[in-house]
Amino acid sequence: MTRNNIPKDHPRVHSLKIRSKMSDSFHSGILSQNGLIAHGRGEAFDYILGENTNKISLDTIRVATAQLLLSDSVISVNGNSAALCSKEIVKLAKLTNSKIEINLFHKSPTRVKKISQLLKKHGAIDIYGENKKYLTRVPGLKSNRKFIDKRGIFSSDVIFVPLEDGDRTEFLKKMNKTVITVDLNPLSRTSIMSDISIIDNLIRVLPEMIKQSKNMSNFSSTDLHNIVTKFNNQNQLQSILKFMSKRLIDLST
């Protein structure tokens, strides 16, 4: 099914449109084959969540946004996040004064270039992770995601990694970075290891972060700090698992 022949009254029209967007992004070289599989896994968890942003995630999104506003931060972009939300990534980076860095698991110079062009089309000016001259390594990490920019992830305190792979989260933590992630799977290593794990669909999360960063734009550092320090990620993940379990039980009785 292509985007043009999805029936408007199809009960899952929104999900099908996103699938079609992902498939287009695969054909245009933005998204890797594995990115398509990751998307499918995400969809399965979103079904359990009810394809909605619940109250727990809204609170976590607020904490994550406050953390971005408070710190020297970078948004790490991969194929999936570029395919789904390039425009919103650029907008959020501007509002929170975050840098943008491309970091890919299935890396190729062509794909990096295509993602960079897409982000620039939406108004990004400086993109990190592209120029080999500035690349260094995450100590100990074996995958291609080990290459990080000295001016970006390497020298920043807070790394926002929408749709991250568990491996790198672990090593970024070893580098004493604060890691914020978006992952629909509350059981993934990424969700468990991050400091702030938003269990929700990136499609819904970024517009909400944009809204919240506007709302918080005149908050003092003390206000932002208070929002961040009250947060406990482990409790939050337990609440999400309870929310999902309750939904399944409610649906089965």
Among 101, 149, 164, 165, binds Mg ion (CB under 5 A): 165
CA distance to 32, 36, 42, 90, 136, per residue, from 201 (Å): 19, 15, 8, 18, 31
Q: Which stretch binds ligand ATP (CB under 6 A): 35-43, 118-126, 147-155, 237-245?
A: 35-43
Among 22, 30, 31, 38, binds ligand ATP (CB under 6 A): 38
Q: Which stretch binds Mg ion (CB under 5 A): 108-116, 165-173, 234-242, 244-252?
A: 165-173
Q: Rounded CA gap, 180 and 175, in Å?
A: 14
Residue holding tokens 């690349």? 135
Give the SS3 label for residue 180. Answer: strand
Query: Is residue 189 a contact point for ligand ATP (CB under 6 A)?
Result: yes
> Phi, psi (5° rounding) for residue 179?
-115, 125
Contacts of residue 53, defined as CB under 8 A and 6 or more positions apart, other chains included, come to: 61, 200, 201, 204, 205, 208
Q: Rounded CA gap, 102 and 94, in Å?
A: 16
Q: Rounded CA gap, 8 and 6, in Å?
A: 6
Residue 201 interacting entry, from ligand ATP, Mg ion, none, C-beta within 5 to 8 Å by type: ligand ATP
Query: Is residue 88 a contact point for ligand ATP (CB under 6 A)?
Result: no
Residue number, 101 or 165, with CB nearest to Mg ion:
165
Residue 30 interacting entry, from ligand ATP, Mg ion, none, C-beta within 5 to 8 Å by type: none
Both structure tokens of 170: 């672990």
Query: Is residue 180 a contact point for ligand ATP (CB under 6 A)?
Result: no
Residue ranges binding Mg ion (CB under 5 A): 165-166
Residue ranges binding ligand ATP (CB under 6 A): 38-39, 41-42, 45, 80, 84, 163, 165-166, 182-185, 188-190, 201-203
